[in-house]
A and B are shown apart, each in its own frame.
Chain A
Amino acid sequence: NAGVMQNPRHLVRRRGQEARLRCSPMKGHSHVYWYRQLPEEGLKFMVYLQKENIIDESGMPKERFSAEFPKEGPSILRIQQVVRGDSAAYFCASSPPRDRGSTDTQYFGPGTRLTVL
């Protein structure tokens, strides 16, 4: 059973370009989360999605950032007009559907390291 897949693992963009980060959840998982980690810091929640729905985007910057989880295909985190401050590691996590006794444990992908030149 493959884990959470993220690609690319490393992404370099120049200021003003767009960055697209992809995440495929674990098989059977219907919840996807995106987190950002700045150097030497903990992860900060960005957005929580289920198929075709954004459930909680309270951690998303108001501009330039968007996320989707379509009916088919991976979840996408999109950053438009990147700036140097966007340089960070972006982690995707997934968890299974909630049921009785579920711990809602989130399993993380390997992350995408975004560098903005």
Chain B
Amino acid sequence: AQKITQTQPGMFVQEKEAVTLDCTYDTSDPSYGLFWYKQPSSGEMIFLIYQGSYDQQNATEGRYSLNFQKARKSANLVISASQLGDSAMYFCAMREGISTAGNKLTFGGGTRVLVKP
């Protein structure tokens, strides 16, 4: 089974509107972390936001917020007031466990976002 699933391969969003990118995950570990990264066409991976499994509140970071629904095992990224520079691939990733051997990230397949002017 896929550990991280991003069901939207691509989507368009109008500039200044909000967009929600879906991410569901699968783990039996009670301790895990969820991350979102942005990959623009230039290729680098940019860290956006983090949500820990024990965090009581949804993470927010500027225009990025994470809609964390633990029971449903979903961690959707919301980008508010989209800008042209938000056009990129977006990856959801998970780190399982708290042991040193559990530090690797498992990535979803990504969602390509194109912001229209």
Q: Are A103 and B52 in contact (CB under 8 A)?
A: yes
Which B residues are in CB contact (< 8 Å) with A98? 100
Query: Closest CB-CB distance, B100 to chain A, in whole Å?
Result: 6
Residues on the A chain within 8 Å of B37, using CB: 108
Which residues 71-117 of B sit at the A interface, judged by CB distance below 8 A? 91, 93, 95, 100-101, 103-110
Q: B68 interface residue, CB < 8 Å from A?
A: no
Residues of chain B within 8 A (CB-CB) of A89 are: 43
In the complex, residue of chain A having the shortest beta-carbon distance to the beta carbon of B50: A103
Which residues of A have CB within 8 Å of B101? 48, 55-56
Interface-facing stretch out of A16-24, A36-44, A65-73, A77-85? A36-44
- Taking the complex as formed, is A25 at the interface, i.e. its CB lies under 8 A from any CB of chain B? no
| In the assembled complex, B44 has its CB within 8 A of some CB on chain A | yes
- A56 to B47, alpha carbons, bound, how many Å? 22
With A108-B47, A110-B44 already in contact, the answer to whether A48 and B103 are too (CB < 8 A) is: yes
Residue of B nearest to A89 (CB): B43
> How many pairs of residues, A versus B, come closer than 8 Å at their CB atoms?
67
Q: CB-CB < 8 A to B95: which residues of A?
A: 104
Q: Which residue of B lies closest to A41 (CB)?
A: B109
Contact status of A31 and B103, CB under 8 A, knowing A103-B52, A105-B35? yes
Interface string of A78-117 (1 = CB under 8 A from B): 0000000000010101010010000111111111010000
**Distance in Å from the Cβ of A56 to the closest Cβ of chain B?**
5
In this complex, the interface size class of chain B, counting residues with CB under 8 Å from chain A, is 20 to 34
Q: Which residue of A lies closest to B35 (CB)?
A: A105
B11 on the interface (CB 8 Å rule)? no
- Chain A contacts for B18, CB-based, 8 A: none
For the complex, give the distance between the alpha carbons of A42 and B95 in Å.
Answer: 15
Taking beta carbons and an 8 Å cutoff, which residues of A are in contact with B? Answer: 31, 33, 35, 41-45, 48, 55-56, 58-59, 89, 91, 93, 95, 98, 103-111, 113
On B, residues with C-beta under 8 Å from A are 4, 33, 35, 37, 43-47, 50, 52, 91, 93, 95, 100-101, 103-110
A-B contact pairs, 16 of them (CB 8 A): A31-B103, A42-B4, A43-B91, A43-B105, A45-B105, A48-B104, A55-B100, A55-B101, A56-B101, A56-B103, A98-B100, A104-B95, A106-B105, A108-B47, A111-B43, A111-B44
